[in-house]
């Protein structure tokens, strides 16, 4: 089924988006709502942007890198986080005067090459650490810190109590921090 969607995307066939909506709308909505916390207009805009990104870049999808479902999750998560950052930025700008606003518009922090290299090294170290975790621990970490799910949501999805989830995430956070510090001092 996913192969059919990808083929239709590559052919720029409108049915591809219809199939994505039919099979993945609940998943896409769930991720967007989880991150944007029921801000309905932002959720709808986010979901529409996800469909646009899939339409625009879906032909570039590579099965070797991840499943199509994982690809959709990543696009949805990143799009929702961008909306969340944008909303927080707008809230911050409301409290600034004009000179602060102008200054913040022209400072481009992404141009710092050294910061980019450090960031890439940190991401690689975290990926190595996550790969070393047991499957259930990795799922819990991803649910909490990647998909920004609440303790309650994780507990329900994984058949655990909220207290068990909280204590396990606390232990995992300490374990990850310890391994991360070792990785970064190599």
Read off the pLDDT of residues 77-122 as tens digits, 9 standing for 90 and up.
889 888 888 877 766 656 544 444 444 444 444 455 666 666 677 7
Q: Can you read off the two tokens belonging to residue 186?
A: 């190599």
pTM for this one?
A: 0.59
Is residue 177 predicted with pLDDT exceeding 50? yes
* Residue 171: band (very low, low, confident or very high) from pLDDT cuts 50, 70, 90: very high
Report the alpha-carbon distance of residue 183 to residue 178 in Å, rounded: 9
Nearest-angstrom CA–CA distance, 25 and 130: 28
Between 109 and 40, residue with greater pLDDT? 40
Please state, rounded to an integer, the average pLDDT across all residues of the chain. Answer: 81
Angle at 151 between CA 149 and CA 157, to 5 degrees: 75
Q: What is the mean pLDDT of residues 20-42?
A: 87
Length of the chain in terms of residues written: 186
């Amino acid at each position: 089924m996913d192969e059919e969607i990808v083929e239709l995307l590559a052919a720029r066939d409108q049915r591809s988006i219809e199939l994505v909506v039919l099979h993945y709308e609940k998943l896409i909505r769930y991720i967007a709502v989880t991150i944007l916390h029921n801000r309905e207009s932002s959720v709808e805009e986010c979901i529409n942007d996800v469909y646009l990104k899939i339409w625009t870049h879906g032909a570039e999808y590579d099965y070797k890198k991840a499943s199509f479902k994982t690809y959709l999750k990543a696009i949805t998560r990143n799009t929702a986080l961008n909306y969340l950052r944008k909303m927080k930025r707008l809230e911050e700008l409301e409290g600034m005067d004009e000179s602060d606003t102008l200054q913040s518009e022209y400072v481009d922090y992404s141009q710092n090459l050294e910061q980019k290299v450090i960031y890439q090294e940190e991401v690689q170290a975290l990926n190595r650490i996550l790969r070393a975790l047991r499957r259930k621990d990795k799922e819990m970490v991803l649910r909490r810190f990647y998909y920004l799910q609440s303790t309650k949501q994780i507990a329900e999805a994984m058949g655990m109590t909220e207290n068990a989830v909280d204590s396990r995430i606390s232990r995992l956070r300490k374990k990850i921090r310890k391994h991360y510090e070792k990785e970064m001092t190599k």
